[in-house]
């Protein structure tokens, strides 16, 4: 079965899917809500509506999938944690496991972008009890995890992450497929 067959992914009202279209945060949160069988709007509470129309970057997607609230969910019947552990172990065994963003060829660009990302986020969420430095570090760790969990490969043979590149709808499908997500959480 496909994610479309299971109601996780849907096309636009005109029947087109738009695989090369950039993904917005609202689209990403809607898909994650569907995966988790959440009837409400888990992803737009506490002022997150401000980010809804913004385009998701590879760094933002890594944060949501490998470092955010969704990645911490542990529901009965969902193999997310097992798949993550298996993918991470496979990288460790074959010697491709990485520990820090310094192992990416574009580490300086990742570092700079995560500070920009965290600054924007904190400006839009002034009530959050966090710091730019802490959030930037969390996003960097999520990028490392997203790579080790097989959500995202590099954008080239050198393994460049390209944190500011917009994520397309097709790339999200591939990331979810790599994570072993094919249907909703039971």
- Distances in Å between the Cα of 50 and the Cα atoms of 82, 147, 182 are 33, 28, 29
Please identify which residue in the block is written with the tokens 């002022």.
47
3-state secondary structure of 56: coil
For residue 101, report the phi and psi dihedrals to the nearest 5 degrees.
-70, -15
Give tens-digit pLDDT for 81-134. 555 666 667 767 777 788 899 999 999 999 999 999 999 888 877 777 778 999
* Sequence ranges of the domains in the chain: 56-178
Which candidate, 49, 51, 59, places its Cα nearest to that of 139?
Answer: 59
Which pTM does this prediction carry? 0.79
Give tens-digit pLDDT for 135-160. 899 999 989 988 887 788 888 999 89
- Distances in Å between the Cα of 71 and the Cα atoms of 63, 142, 161 are 9, 10, 20
């Amino acid at each position: 079965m496909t994610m479309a067959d299971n109601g996780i992914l849907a096309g636009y009202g005109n029947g087109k899917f738009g695989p090369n279209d950039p993904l917005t945060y609202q689209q990403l949160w809607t898909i994650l809500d569907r995966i988790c069988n959440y009837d409400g709007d888990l992803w737009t509470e506490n002022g997150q509506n401000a980010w809804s129309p913004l385009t998701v970057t590879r760094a933002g997607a890594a944060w949501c999938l490998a470092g955010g609230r969704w990645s911490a969910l542990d529901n009965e019947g969902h193999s997310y944690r097992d798949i993550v552990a298996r993918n991470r172990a496979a990288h460790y065994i074959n010697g491709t496991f990485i520990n820090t963003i310094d192992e990416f060829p574009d580490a300086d660009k990742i570092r700079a972008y995560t500070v920009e990302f965290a600054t924007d986020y904190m400006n839009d969420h002034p009530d959050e009890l966090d710091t730019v430095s802490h959030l930037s570090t969390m996003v960097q760790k999520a990028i490392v995890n997203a790579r080790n969990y097989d959500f995202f490969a590099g954008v080239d043979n050198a393994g460049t992450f390209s944190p500011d590149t917009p994520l397309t709808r097709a790339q999200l499908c591939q990331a979810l497929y790599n994570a072993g997500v094919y249907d909703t959480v039971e």
